[in-house]
A and B are shown apart, each in its own frame.
Chain A
């Protein structure tokens, strides 16, 4: 019985190895599906479509990379589809980090494990910025720490990337926060701050830019590595370098168990797609710059994001 099992297992693993070998040799032999677990029209969608379009050029064989929107449950539906797909590299998906990892860290029942995904690259990131109303008396991070009361922060709901990022920032920097949660999106809660629903908001720098330009919002600190706003210090300059890069990262992953050789091919194609002339022109026009990472660099970035949550578990509390 035992022997028979071993034999079968051995045969199976041989077969798998053989399949993997042959698959990566000829990969790709058919069209690749690029899942987008979000609705058409948003940042996740447009960036993914641009990469899908250009990466096809850089694959060893001439196939299409077909974008497919599978919105639902804040991305959870799409991640579930990726997890359940065949681990052959023909299904990849854009992954919103840290948004994708938060449900499982907060104990939600999910049918995927983000830590098991095979990372094939990062397309871009949107670092966050912390801003207050243009009329606010708060001028710096120091003012927030010395406020004498909790900072009131309009935000999307518990478990969202914005909510969690505010939690991370308050835990690391050390200031009390009172949330006004439940806004539909970043624009809505930024306007909430302008209106006086709360003191401060945290959202991608891209979303904030026009509000800073119009003077409705004052930037307090940006989580970019290098500030793109005059007079707004980076979080490293403010004394918290470990928070640099806090924000949304648009990563690409393949199904858990995808052979390394295939992941490498995909990673190389995404690398070239991000540097492609057409992509660069698009990035300039839409002001959505690529900040690309290879597969292994992406893995390191995921580990780093997870590390912050491990180090500061309080950031995941309600």
Chain B
């Protein structure tokens, strides 16, 4: 095992190796930072280029992209309130208020540090569980997936702050949208209105680009001015090193975020958006002053960013155990491996140990490399908050729409992005939480699919959900999460009375 790891490391430090890694990181940062583009698009576009490469070169290049996309996306989340990729959505909550207060440098510094440390912790968790990866993957079947999806949906209730009813409405709409399209269980077409486009359901990339990026740009355009409020002369770009320090001062939050990220990452079909959101929500809940979140609390940047990079390590667990992709990027990546004559599957770790370690090391180094570049550039990147939105918004919108089109060469995707842009703007305007709708949209499919499967496995008996220990445990956690705010309120009130 160590031999392969050292070999992989040695390959990385050749000129060619560093070149491919650097290229991957550069592409990942740019594709991550531009809303509408993202890791999936970057890797899909790179596939034809990898045909002529050696396997480890292709892996280093793509590992570079995977390790850096999430941090790239946090930059736009912080500076423009627009997540570059969906998993950065939770970073907007506190990252953007920090940018408005002129503390963009600090937020980016914290995001960069949390990302790279989170990525490393994720990889460490992966390496630690490799010997038992198969057993872990086999522990989670449809009943556990269903319980997890419900846990995620339960966390929505938490995240609504004071807007409980609005949160539920947004979540309900997201859930309803998740059911549009081809019914994966029974094979029927649902709510498509006869449009072939809708057979594939509400596609995530155009929807998220619309609801986050385009909506925010409409909002900014109407407001006018620049992103950072206040007088230009007063605006200090606070020191990036403060952000780095903040991460080390909040180490438990980093650890928890990384653990959540690695765990959720290992569950196929859940993904980074839910991971970073759960990390954020749990940090708010554990905090002594939850009111400070959403107004520029640096912990609100550290929590989601650590989770969102740690998930890459977690996503490799099912991939290495059985060749099942843990994320959309990983699915395309597996295709690349096959083209190079490597077959992902239960023998992967035994037959292609070198490849596995090349990938792990590339992902880990990319996370560090991307953060260093980010830290160096943070000061200059922050200047974007001083650009007039009437220049900024049209640029972001056009690049985002080109990116949306590029993924499937589909005009339908562009229309979908615009429609959700308008919906997203209305949600901002009337104060409905957008992320609630998005989480429900992401989890709806998993919840429905695994519910039906569980019932089929259990021959129609619902006891399957509470007779399996992990599923039961997850249900108990969900109930605790939903009840905890009211319990806490009750205790607080009693204290006051006493």
Contacts and interface: CB of A to CB of B under 8 A. Distances in A.
Interface string A213-245: 110100000000000000000000000000000
A179 B137 CA distance: 22
B185 A182 contact: yes
Interface stretch (B284-292, B293-301, B307-315, B336-344): B336-344
A182 B196 contact: no
Contact of A181 (B44, B186, B331): B186
Given A72-B408, A188-B268, A159 B141 contact: no
A276 B274 CA distance: 48
Contacts of B142: 197
Contacts of A41: 44, 47, 331-332, 334-336, 338-339
Interface stretch (B170-178, B208-216, B451-459): B451-459
Contacts of B268: 184, 188
A42 B333 CA distance: 10
Contacts of A304: none
Contact of B323 (A70, A182, A187): A187
Interface of B is mostly: helix
Contacts of B47: 40-41
Interface of A is mostly: mixed
A310 interface: no
Given A41-B332, A158-B186, A187-B324, A195 B339 contact: no
Contacts of B332: 39-41
Contacts of B185: 157-158, 181-182
Interface string B135-163: 00110011000000000000000000000
A69 B189 CA distance: 23
B225 interface: no
A311 interface: no
Contacts, number: 131
A178 B457 CA distance: 9
Interface string B33-63: 0000000000010010000000000000000
Interface string A296-316: 000000000000000000000
Contacts of B137: 191
Interface in B91-147: 137-138, 141-142
Contacts of A42: 335
A159 B187 contact: yes
Contact of B456 (A46, A72, A180, A216): A180
B179 interface: no
Given A72-B408, A182-B449, A157 B183 contact: yes
B346 A216 contact: yes
Contacts of B339: 41, 46, 286
B200 interface: yes
A157 B338 contact: no
B322 A73 contact: no
Nearest to B323: A187
Contact of B346 (A108, A158, A192, A211): A211
Contacts of B189: 108
A210 B346 contact: yes
B409 interface: yes
B324 A182 contact: no
Interface string B164-200: 0000000000000000001111110100001011011
A26 interface: no
A285 B341 contact: yes
A80 interface: yes
A183 interface: yes
Nearest to A210: B345
A198 interface: yes
Determine the interface band of chain B, counting residues with CB < 8 A from chain A: 35 or more
Contact of B138 (A40, A108, A194): A194
Contacts of A4: none
Nearest to A208: B345
A72 B409 contact: no
B199 A72 contact: yes
A171 B341 CA distance: 37
Choose among A41, A111, A211 the residue with the greatest number of B CB atoms under 10 Å from its CB.
Answer: A41
B269 A184 contact: yes
B487 interface: no
Interface in B395-452: 408-410, 449, 452
A195 B196 contact: no
Contact of A209 (B343, B408, B453): B343
A174 interface: no
Contacts of B187: 106, 157-160, 163, 181, 318
Interface string A160-193: 1001000000000000001111111001101110
Contact of B200 (A72, A180, A187): A72
Interface string A68-82: 111111101100100
A318 B410 CA distance: 32
Contacts of B480: none
Nearest to B269: A184
Contacts of A183: 453
A40 B186 contact: no
A43 B457 CA distance: 30
B347 interface: yes
A157 B186 contact: yes
A32 to B, nearest CB: 18
Given A160-B187, A182-B452, A211-B345, A74 B408 contact: no
Interface string B343-380: 10111101000000000000000000000000000000
Contacts of B409: 68-70
Contacts of B408: 71-72
B408 to A, nearest CB: 6
A157 B187 CA distance: 6
A179 B200 contact: no
A221 B149 CA distance: 37
A43 B335 CA distance: 8
A210 B196 contact: no
A71 B412 CA distance: 13
13 contacts: A41-B339, A46-B339, A76-B199, A159-B187, A160-B187, A181-B185, A181-B453, A187-B345, A194-B138, A198-B457, A210-B348, A214-B350, A287-B343
Which 3 pairs, one residue from A and one from B, show the smallest C-beta to C-beta distance? Answer: A41-B335, A158-B187, A210-B345
Given A73-B196, A181-B187, 11 more contacts: A42-B335, A45-B335, A74-B199, A76-B199, A108-B189, A181-B456, A188-B324, A192-B141, A211-B346, A214-B346, A287-B343
Interface of B: 44, 47, 137-138, 141-142, 182-187, 189, 194, 196-197, 199-200, 268-269, 322-324, 331-332, 334-336, 338-339, 341, 343, 345-348, 350, 408-410, 449, 452-453, 456-457, 459
